[in-house]
Amino acid sequence: MAHTSPLRFVMTTVGLFIAAFLLVALIAYLMQGVLVFPGSLSKGDRVLSLPEGAEELELAGRDGPLYALLLEHPEPRFGLLFFGGNGEWLARMVPDLEDIRSAGVTVLAVDYPGYGGSAGSPSADGIRDAAEQAYAALAERVGSRGIVVAGRSIGSGPACHLAARQEVAGVALFAPFTRLADAAARHYPFLPVRTLLRHRFDNMAEIAKVEAPVLLFHNVDDELIAPVMSEKLAEAAAGPVTLVLGSSGGHNGLDFGAVDPPGAALREFLATLAVGDPSG
């Protein structure tokens, strides 16, 4: 009876391991659209009941119409452009947007391409384009009052992108990452994420160009994006920074009511900004 040599056994085992690894890497590469942008499963879902003082907008995106929601404040101190997380779309975000409006701002938010009521497919480039379109739409409404850009989680990417290129009164980031690749590599340490990832947001490079005041809020028990990333962003920012390390409930404990720590931090931050002075 023939016996398999130890060397052949080791080589076979290694070969199977490499094949399995390459298969997993291939699946991750092909499926990253859903992994990075799970909110794309919401395509077609629009807000069913508009809050008082709210208006649906259609913006011209590069891959088709973008669905946006404007919540007017009767006496806004600023316009605030809000970008949600990768699992959020407008139909789910209305309560948060109402809470933010109650801080004394007119709020505009847009569904990312392929999310909710927006056409197209999600990508970092598409989200950056949507952010530019949303900024232009809000600037028409609030004019010289100034615009604050805010983002939660992946929304910190388009927020930093805009703040590095447009006039803003302030930037508010909640559970932001240094780079999207850094956050992904933390969750998939067994994969060459930095090579496989097609979608890129580099908040470290962008925030180094931002001279407007910046608020960074991060829960110390955030299980998805390490709070040290906010600390690194604080060090890299070109302008004044307020760093708040909270404990309001992990990555998803980021609510904006007046009594919620993130909401209170946002209100305090807005109170420090100069109205009508986009440079802060």
Domain ranges of the chain: 37-272
Overall average pLDDT of the 218-222 stretch: 95
Q: Which tokens in the block code for residue 278?
A: 């986009």
Buried/exposed code over 173-199 (b: 16+ C-beta within 10 A; e: otherwise): bbbbbbbbbbbbeeeeeebebeebbeb
pLDDT at 205: 96
For residue 280, pLDDT over 50 is answered with no
| pLDDT tens track for 246-276 | 988 889 889 999 999 999 999 999 999 977 5
Considering 123-127, 183-187, 262-266, the range whose residues carry the highest mean pLDDT is 262-266
Which residue did the predictor score with more confidence, 229 or 189? 229
Q: Are 98 and 71 in contact (CB under 8 A)?
A: yes
User: Do the Cβ atoms of 213 and 280 come closer than 8 Å?
Assistant: yes
| In the chain, % of residues over pLDDT 70 | 80
CATH architecture of 37-272: 3-Layer(aba) Sandwich (3.40)
- What is the pLDDT, as a whole number, of residue 182? 76
Q: Is 75 left (phi over 0), alpha (psi -120 to 50) or beta?
A: beta
Classify residue 22 by burial, with Cβ atoms within 10 Å: 0-12, 13-18, 19+: exposed
- Does pLDDT of 2 surpass 60? no
Most confident of 25-39, 54-68, 263-277: 54-68
